A and B are shown apart, each in its own frame.
Chain A
């Protein structure tokens, strides 16, 4: 039973445009949501997080939006750059961190 779902296995976006990665969750007890970025042959690196009491958090080109009523969050990257090509994992925390399956983002030149 997947508590954190990333329904798009991959996404291609033109360089300079906005990338939007989506994530749905089922457990209303999650208190924190996180996005991690992973390059091949490396471990995931923390990107940005949001508390369940907020609906938006911004850090440079990265913004995470949380819609608690819909149990949905999204990561916006604007403008998208070639170095953003990676796998992005959505994750949520109750007493442990639970990861989605990831979305592979391709930034096209």
Chain B
């Protein structure tokens, strides 16, 4: 029973490029959450998605960031025109239903913008 998968684990982008981060939830989980962790900070909620729906994107920056969770395939967090401040670890978590108190996290993608 595979856990939450994220790829790539490390991603280097130059300023102005696009970054695409992928997350495959645990089998049977239809709720996906994205978090960002800046150095020396805790995890900050970005967005909560169910299949084909964005439920809560209150933590997403208003520009350049978008997320999707299509009917088939992984959830994608897309960052357009990356800047140095986007360098962080991005974690995806999944859960089987909305009200669970427990989320299962992937290993994260470390994005470095040069």
Minimal beta-carbon separation of B103 from chain A (angstroms): 7
Leading 8 A-B pairs by shortest Cβ distance: A43-B105, A99-B42, A101-B42, A32-B101, A99-B43, A46-B102, A44-B105, A43-B107
| A residues adjacent to B (C-beta < 8 A) | 4, 6, 9, 32, 34, 36, 41-46, 49, 89, 93, 95-102
Are the C-beta atoms of A49 and B45 separated by less than 8 Å?
A: no
Interface residues as binary, B57-89 with A (CB distance below 8 Å gives 1, 0 otherwise): 011000000000000000000000000000000
Given the complex of chains A and B, what is the CA–CA distance between A32 and B98 in angstroms?
14
Residues of chain A within 8 A (CB-CB) of B33 are 96-97
B contact residues around A9 at 8 Å (CB): 40
Instruction: Report the separation of the CA atoms of residues A44 and B48 in the bound assembly, to the nearest whole angstrom.
Output: 17
B45: chain A residues within 8 A (beta carbon): 96-98
Cβ contact of B41, chosen from A42, A97, A101, cutoff 8 A = A101
Residues A100 and B101 in contact, CB atoms below 8 Å apart: no
- Chain A contacts of B58 at CB under 8 A? 96
Known: A43-B106, A96-B48, A101-B42. 18 other contacts (CB 8 A): A9-B40, A32-B101, A36-B105, A41-B108, A43-B6, A43-B93, A45-B105, A49-B102, A93-B101, A95-B56, A96-B33, A96-B58, A97-B103, A98-B45, A99-B43, A99-B44, A100-B42, A101-B40
Contacts of A6 in B (CB 8 A): 42
Q: Which residues of A contact B105 (CB under 8 A)?
A: 36, 43-45
Question: What are 30 A-to-B residue pairs whose CB atoms are below 8 Å?
Answer: A9-B40, A32-B101, A34-B102, A41-B107, A41-B108, A42-B107, A43-B4, A43-B93, A43-B105, A43-B106, A43-B108, A45-B105, A46-B102, A46-B103, A46-B104, A49-B101, A89-B42, A96-B33, A96-B45, A96-B48, A96-B58, A96-B59, A97-B45, A98-B45, A99-B35, A99-B44, A101-B40, A101-B41, A101-B42, A102-B42
